[in-house]
Chains A and B, each alone.
Chain A
Amino acid sequence: MRQRRFAAAVVFGAFLAAGACHKNKPPIARPTPAPPAPASTGTRPPAPPEPVREAQPIPPEPTVTSDTLAGKDLDEINKNSPFQPVFFALDSFDVDQGGQQALNADADILKKYPGWTITIEGHCDERGTAEYNLALGERRALAAKTYLVSLGIPADRLRTVSYGKEFPFDPGHSEDAWSKNRRAHFVVTSK
């Protein structure tokens, strides 16, 4: 972080210097009009215009990347989470292809923010029983964790907890609601 800040300072310094150059740049020479021909003095051709002189090349605009996520607090991050949840089939804790894609993207975020600790919440839909769902939600959270660890995320950054069917994301009783409720959900718990 310190290094990155330093780099930004250098770039910014260069930018200032460039601006300064620009201000002091001598005016571009304009072709001076030919002096009026003397009334009766022979036929001297007019002097050719002086060539345009280029100033120093203008340095390109600096690239300033703004990180909106890094500046947010945990609540803001979690309310509009950058992490994609992993969805599961009924009675299943297998991470399917869609789940793997989500976890690949999630791993990239975790690598970008190495200071973040996250909790993976395992959730189930209401069609399972309360007790088994506690274990099923746990397996879903653990499955997501195992996959992230396989992508190189340190296990000690990943907590898990199962809520079974206690906290459905969609309170409905439709296939659509159930499919949203069978998930491993990511919560940033420390940064």
Chain B
Amino acid sequence: MTKTILFASALAGAVSLGAQQPPAQQPPAQPPAGPPPQQTEVTITIASTGGLPPKIAIAGFIPVTTDAETAAAAKAIGDVLWDDLNFEREFYMIAKDAAATVPRAASIDQLPIDRWKELGANGVIVGNVQRTGSGLIVRAKLVDVGSGRTAFGKEYSGSLDSIKVERARLYAHTIADEIHQQQRGLRGVARTKLAFSSDRAGERFKGPVADRGIKDIYIADYDGANVKRVTVSTTLNVAPAWSPDGQMLAYTSYLPGSFSVFQDVVVSMIYKGMRQTPAHGDPNRQNYLPAFSPDGSKIAFTSNRDGNPEIYVMNRDGGGMRRLTNNPAIDVTPTWSPAGTQIAFTSDRSGSPQIYIMNADGTGQQKITSESYCDRPTWSPAPFNEIAYASRAGGGYVIRVYNIENHESHTVSDNIGSNESPAFSPNGRHIAFTSSRNGRDQIFVIDRDGQNLRQITREGNNGYPNWSQ
């Protein structure tokens, strides 16, 4: 039972950022290459006219070595980078077929700038991929079409293993995050991951009436690629929650007990294959729906240990157990505020499930929604002071967002199918949620303004998404 750790930590650790020398006419704006690299090149910002997003084309990544694997990796990096940059909507990405009309550069220093200018590009990204005896080297640069100068240029290296297409994606994700940071001051999400629960393996376990489907915890890149199975079990595993450092997942697992099955919070160190049950559940003390505090030191969760679903908080190791709610009604599914000073949760103490907030010590409980039925609050990261939740609408649910400042909510998703279990991206610009709009339950991502709906999962039923930091 447990763990699949399938990450080339070598790659994550070895994407070294050596600053590439800019063209001769540009005075070197950075100190000589050497770790740790500093962002010192923010001198050139690709801009558009009339306040529109800058138009960016990807001229492609040139395979320097001629083998098929290098070529496949080079193509994947270009394609994934296009998607990553398109995702945040900070740039207008010139369509790939339009970009393909421009002759490919022979080298990254020989861009046909005039042709890109004709195409209306404000910036062009070009790079290359080189296989060496010990690994892979990927170079990328962003050229300002107006001035011809390099706005961004870096060299990355990784293990030989990183030439595999699904691993080479990390080069693109890293480049995208760094370009977003350098050009737009934005923390991109290209290297973040989604955790979710899925029955995609199609495995079943013996139930009392009929066989029942198992659910296991999976993780994927933010765009749904690169799916890895975290748990391998013959039971239900649901509602994963990332630790802030991305090394752990806390989730709800149905464990075998004395003549019974009970829910407990499992904390899994997914890259070490170790797991703990810090809440020490048993059939009379069941624990579920955990949420890490923003500093990772505590876990809030729901428990029936006092005979009724209430919100509790404990230290990561299970110490310092403390009950936060004390109400004969249901109190369930806590989420932390970005500063860790408040917790939002669902309670039906008013007669129907509604969203409440309280201080992290349980004081100051107050109701913030007055709708038909609301559940699964998720607090947005800064700078947005908002809480997303699922709200009953028609026969299903829509995703709504409550503004803590003005006490108003607005609807983000449409009401096709049912839409539940929202989870914010770490930059607060996107919301992952479960939707049945295409029949089975799948994970979708939508921007906070309701645009850019994307389907992330397609296999089996998938739910309870949670976005890594």
Contact = CB atoms under 8 A, between A and B. Distances in A.
Genuine A/B complex: yes
Interface of A: 78-79, 81, 91, 117, 119, 121, 126-132, 134-136, 138-139, 142, 159-163, 166-167, 169, 185, 187, 189-190
Sorted from nearest, which 9 A-B pairs have the closest CB atoms? A159-B260, A129-B375, A190-B259, A135-B332, A78-B208, A135-B309, A189-B259, A187-B208, A131-B333
Given A79-B209, A129-B376, A134 B289 contact: yes
A117 B260 CA distance: 9
Nearest to A78: B208
A132 B375 CA distance: 6
Contacts of A159: 257-260, 262, 283
A131 B289 contact: yes
Contacts of A117: 259-260
Given A129-B375, A159-B259, A190-B259, A167 B207 contact: yes
Given A78-B209, A131-B376, A139-B308, 12 more contacts: A81-B208, A117-B260, A131-B332, A132-B330, A134-B332, A135-B302, A135-B346, A142-B304, A159-B257, A161-B286, A162-B263, A185-B209
A190 to B, nearest CB: 4
B378 to A, nearest CB: 10
B307 interface: yes
B298 to A, nearest CB: 20
B252 to A, nearest CB: 8
Interface of B: 207-209, 212, 215, 236, 238-239, 252, 254, 257-263, 283, 286, 288-289, 302, 304, 307-309, 330-333, 346, 348, 352-353, 373, 375-376, 390, 395, 397, 418, 420-421, 434, 463-464
A134 B288 contact: yes
A107 to B, nearest CB: 19
Contact of B464 (A78, A119, A130, A169): A130
Contact of B259 (A78, A119, A134, A167): A119
A132 B209 contact: no
Contacts of A126: 418
Given A91-B352, A142-B307, A166 B236 contact: yes
Binding site secondary structure of chain A? mixed
24 contacts: A81-B209, A91-B352, A117-B259, A117-B260, A119-B259, A129-B376, A129-B390, A130-B238, A132-B332, A132-B348, A132-B375, A134-B263, A134-B302, A135-B346, A138-B286, A139-B330, A142-B304, A159-B262, A161-B254, A161-B261, A161-B262, A162-B263, A185-B209, A189-B259
Contacts of B288: 134
Nearest to B461: A166
A121 B262 CA distance: 10
Contacts of A166: 215, 236, 238
B205 to A, nearest CB: 11
A129 B397 contact: yes
A161 B333 CA distance: 17
Contact of A130 (B209, B331, B463): B463
A138 B262 contact: no
Nearest to A127: B395
A178 to B, nearest CB: 11
A187 B207 CA distance: 10
Contacts of B302: 134-135
A189 B376 contact: no
Contacts of B283: 159-161
A185 B283 CA distance: 16
Nearest to A162: B263
Contacts of B308: 139, 142
Contacts of B395: 127
Contacts of A142: 304, 307-308
A79 to B, nearest CB: 7
Nearest to A159: B260
A131 B346 contact: yes
A161 B376 CA distance: 20
Nearest to A186: B208
A161 B464 CA distance: 19
Kindly name the residue among A91, A130, A187 whose own CB sees the greatest number of chain B CB atoms within 10 A. Answer: A130
B373 A91 contact: yes
Contact of A139 (B215, B257, B309, B352): B309
A166 to B, nearest CB: 6
Contacts of A138: 286, 304, 309
Nearest to A164: B238
A130 B420 contact: yes
Nearest to B419: A129
Contacts of B238: 130, 166
A161 B260 contact: yes
Contacts of B259: 117, 119, 159, 189-190
Contact of B421 (A79, A130, A163): A130
B286 A135 contact: no
